[in-house]
Amino acid sequence: MTKPQPKQLRRAYGFDEVAIVPGNTTINPDQTNIHFTIGDLEFAIPIIAAAMDAVTDVDFAIAMSQLGGLAVLNLEGLQTRYDNPREILAEIARAPDEEVTSLLQKIYSQPIKENLIGQSIQAIKQAGAVCAISVIPSNAKSFAPIIAEAGADILVVQSTVTTSRHTSKSYRGLIFDELCKSVPMPVVVGNCVSFDACLELMRTGISGILVGVGPGAACTTREVLGVGVPQITATMDCASARDEYLKESDRYVPIITDGGFRKGGELCKAFAAGADAVMLGSIFAQAKEAPGLGYHWGMSHPHPALPRGTRIKVGTNGTLEQILFGPTSVTDGSQNLIGALRTAMGVCGAADIKEMHQAEMVIAPAIITEGKSWQFSSRR
């Protein structure tokens, strides 16, 4: 009897499973170029702070922009539901573990106040900072005019999984082609993890893709839904889609690996896998400037019926500037991320991010290969 071939399962790889191979040439780190571009906006460093309430508020967005990066403000988060978000954040930080999910469900059930949207955007703009705002797909069309009017620079449309073709009976699926034409700013969309989904989204005219489903430190999507692709494979697949789309359209749409980062080494691996930029959550939640007061939680966490997340205690680990640029006496890779990236590019002989995309990588699962299981560190 010839057995029919069952479904093929491809091996996918995460950060802890790969390592970068040094190059055959080397370059001094201070000669590396790490600029990053979305639409016509250029950033000195390819690092973006996530649209999570423990990470980005108005002040954090300004600070991040001043340091050369970008932070995304969550339009459906605490900043637009409460006039006094700091009190709410303090309440979340004080809540005991066993009560925090119910508390978050209650807190996030408050309605969004439209006036706070405009105020937040204008505060960021008035400080001379670049302003990026995120909305979920079903809110994109209704909020886009307010966001545009208030002068935001980048619109981010983000949910756990976003595709260019969504079926719903309660609302007409968001048509990204229409959205891109109707707003006067670049649109960044996510999250996605596969070649086809990424390519289809790029063809709608969007200006950036967020890559990553399930990897975040504060996210339990993989436990609850079984859904997720490890970030190295997701980044490599979406990078292939970007390169394919560049060939067919002559337009370069950057991909931004979003979620799951804990160390500088993981950032470097994402770039070697093909990322143009990275989006960080829990690392920035550790900054002195972060609104989360040493705690972090995911934006799927407060879901009223099926919460997917944990509040994790991340503590406070230096200023944002130290985290990005050092100098530091921390040796675990959680500070001086830019120094780490430049040094890794140096040993790979990569003069810019596109050359870093060519770096060789090997599969070398940390837990198996060297017996170094830093994933079991005390903080996790």
Quick check: 263 binds its own copies (CB under 8 A)? Answer: yes
Kindly state the smallest distance separating residue 82's Cβ from its own copies, in Å: 21
How many other CB atoms sit within 10 Å of the CB of residue 68?
A: 18
Kindly state the smallest distance separating residue 131's Cβ from its own copies, in Å: 28
- What is the rounded distance in angstroms from the CA atom of residue 60 to the CA atom of residue 124? 9
- What is the rounded distance in angstroms from the CA atom of residue 308 to the CA atom of residue 348? 38
Tokens 């973006």, located at residue: 48
Among 10, 96, 111, 378, binds its own copies (CB under 8 A): 10
Query: Is the Cβ of residue 54 or residue 73 nearer to its own copies in the bound state?
Result: 54
- What is the rounded distance in angstroms from the CA atom of residue 285 to the CA atom of residue 295? 7
Query: Is the Cβ of residue 83 or residue 223 nearer to its own copies in the bound state?
Result: 223
Quick check: 13 binds its own copies (CB under 8 A)? Answer: yes
Helix (H), strand (E), coil (C) string for 320-363? HHHHHHCCCCCCCCCCCHHHHHHHHHHHCCCCEHHHHCCCCEEE
| Contact code string over 316-345 relative to its own copies, x by CB under 8 A | ----------xxxxxxxx--x--xx--xx-
Quick check: 293 binds its own copies (CB under 8 A)? Answer: no
Among 151, 205, 364, 379, binds its own copies (CB under 8 A): 364
Kindly state the smallest distance separating residue 135's Cβ from its own copies, in Å: 17
DSSP-assigned letter for residue 67: T
Q: Return the range that interacts with its own copies (CB under 8 A); candidates 76-84, 115-123, 147-155, 368-376.
A: 368-376
Quick check: 18 binds its own copies (CB under 8 A)? Answer: yes
Q: Return the range that interacts with its own copies (CB under 8 A); candidates 42-50, 86-94, 177-185, 256-264.
A: 256-264
The burial of 273, by beta-carbon neighbours within 10 Å (0-12 exposed, 13-18 middle, 19 or more buried), is given as: buried
According to CB under 8 A, which residues from 212 to 241 bind its own copies?
Answer: 213-215, 220, 222-230, 233, 236-237, 239-240
The burial of 279, by beta-carbon neighbours within 10 Å (0-12 exposed, 13-18 middle, 19 or more buried), is given as: buried
Count of chain residues binding its own copies (CB under 8 A): 123
Among 204, 310, 316, 319, binds its own copies (CB under 8 A): 310
According to CB under 8 A, which residues from 65 to 124 bind its own copies?
Answer: 101-102, 105
Query: Is the Cβ of residue 42 or residue 196 nearer to its own copies in the bound state?
Result: 196
Quick check: 375 binds its own copies (CB under 8 A)? Answer: yes
Among 26, 33, 115, 249, binds its own copies (CB under 8 A): 26
Query: Is the Cβ of residue 101 or residue 207 nearer to its own copies in the bound state?
Result: 101
Kindly state the smallest distance separating residue 177's Cβ from its own copies, in Å: 16
- What is the rounded distance in angstroms from the CA atom of residue 256 to the CA atom of residue 155? 14
Quick check: 378 binds its own copies (CB under 8 A)? Answer: no
- What is the rounded distance in angstroms from the CA atom of residue 152 to the CA atom of residue 258? 21
Whose CA is closest to 379, among 285, 303, 267?
285
Quick check: 166 binds its own copies (CB under 8 A)? Answer: yes
Whose CA is closest to 251, among 196, 194, 195, 186?
186
Q: Is 19 left (phi over 0), alpha (psi -120 to 50) or beta?
A: beta
- What is the rounded distance in angstroms from the CA atom of residue 257 to the CA atom of residue 50? 11
According to CB under 8 A, which residues from 124 to 163 bind its own copies?
Answer: 160-163
Quick check: 269 binds its own copies (CB under 8 A)? Answer: yes
Report which residue type is found at 306. Answer: L
Alpha-carbon radius of gyration of the chain = 20
Quick check: 305 binds its own copies (CB under 8 A)? Answer: yes
Q: Which residues contact 174 (CB under 8 A, 6 or more apart)?
A: 137, 138, 140, 141, 157, 166
Query: Is the Cβ of residue 121 or residue 344 nearer to its own copies in the bound state?
Result: 344
Among 130, 192, 277, 323, binds its own copies (CB under 8 A): 192
Kindly state the smallest distance separating residue 78's Cβ from its own copies, in Å: 18
Tokens of 57: 């508020």
Quick check: 280 binds its own copies (CB under 8 A)? Answer: no
- What is the rounded distance in angstroms from the CA atom of residue 113 to the CA atom of residue 192? 29
- What is the rounded distance in angstroms from the CA atom of residue 206 to the CA atom of residue 199? 11
Query: Is the Cβ of residue 89 or residue 340 nearer to its own copies in the bound state?
Result: 340
Quick check: 260 binds its own copies (CB under 8 A)? Answer: yes
